């Protein structure tokens, strides 16, 4: 029997892994079963955080390196968006004992900014210790995908963001970072999303249901 409680679920993975698709599927499945559920995303999720998201995306398309943000400015913008998101959306929903599903969270920052851009992890950890106040996901799904499937899905996208145009070598490196983060961690599930079919949707729902029934 499910006892109403706050529960935080995060989907992580590289572009084209299907995390947005599967997070929406889980959201709909939980709603069907009468769970009070909120679906959100990072960077963004609130009006102010979406404005910061647009600023980050706009910066990416500047051709001159002189006009681009420094990598620490870029990282601080992501963290500023997270602060707004956590304070005004995620924490209030959890306080109301809702289930919150988030498309990307802190592991994306570690994978892309720390492993990718070589930003100091201590720098990010110190900011997180203030803005998160101990907030951690109860359950994280890391979706891994083959290069072929990822490429195929990215080509189909009508609107692309800053991370949709990188070479496959970038995605491979990023995926390895996500797998490294998730390795041997309780409450982390690495799932192959290359097919992104109904069986994956069912597996995610079954794992979530099992965790929700735990005392």
State residue 150's pLDDT score. Answer: 57
- For 204, the domain range is 7-213
Tell whether 54 is covered by a domain: yes
pTM of the full predicted structure? 0.89
Structure tokens at 127: 């900011």
38 by DSSP, 3-state: which? strand
Tell whether 2 is covered by a domain: no
Q: Is residue 187 scored above 70 in pLDDT?
A: yes
Q: How confident is the model at residue 159 (pLDDT cuts 50, 70, 90)?
A: low
State residue 16's pLDDT score. Answer: 80
What is the rounded radius of gyration, in angstroms, for the C-alpha atoms of the chain? 17
Which residue carries 């900014």 as its tokens? 113
Tell whether 1 is covered by a domain: no
Give the CATH number for residue 185: 3.40.50.300
Give the closest residue to 149 by CA, choosing from 13, 1, 2: 13
| Mean of the per-residue pLDDT values of the chain | 88
Chain segment 106-155, per-residue pLDDT in tens: 999 999 999 989 999 999 999 999 999 999 999 999 999 876 655 565 55
């Amino acid at each position: 029997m499910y006892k109403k409680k706050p529960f935080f679920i995060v989907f992580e993975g590289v572009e084209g892994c299907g995390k947005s698709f599967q997070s929406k599927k889980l959201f709909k499945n939980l709603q069907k079963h009468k769970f009070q559920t909120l679906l959100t995303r990072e960077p963004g999720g609130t009006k102010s955080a979406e404005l910061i998201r647009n600023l980050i995306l706009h910066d990416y398309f500047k051709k001159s390196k002189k006009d681009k943000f420094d990598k620490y400015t870029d990282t601080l913008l992501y963290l500023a968006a997270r602060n707004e998101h956590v304070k005004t959306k995620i924490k209030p929903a959890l306080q109301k004992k809702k289930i919150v599903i988030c498309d990307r969270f802190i592991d994306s920052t570690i994978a892309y900014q720390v492993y990718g851009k070589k930003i100091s992890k201590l720098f990010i950890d110190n900011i997180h210790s203030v803005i998160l106040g101990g907030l951690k996901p109860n359950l994280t799904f890391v979706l891994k995908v083959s290069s072929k499937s990822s490429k195929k899905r990215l080509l189909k996208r009508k609107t692309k963001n800053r991370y949709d145009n990188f070479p496959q070598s970038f995605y491979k490196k990023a995926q390895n970072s996500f797998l490294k983060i998730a390795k041997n961690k309780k409450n982390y599930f690495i799932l192959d999303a290359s097919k992104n079919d109904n069986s994956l949707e069912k597996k995610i729902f079954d794992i979530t249901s099992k965790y929700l029934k735990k005392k």
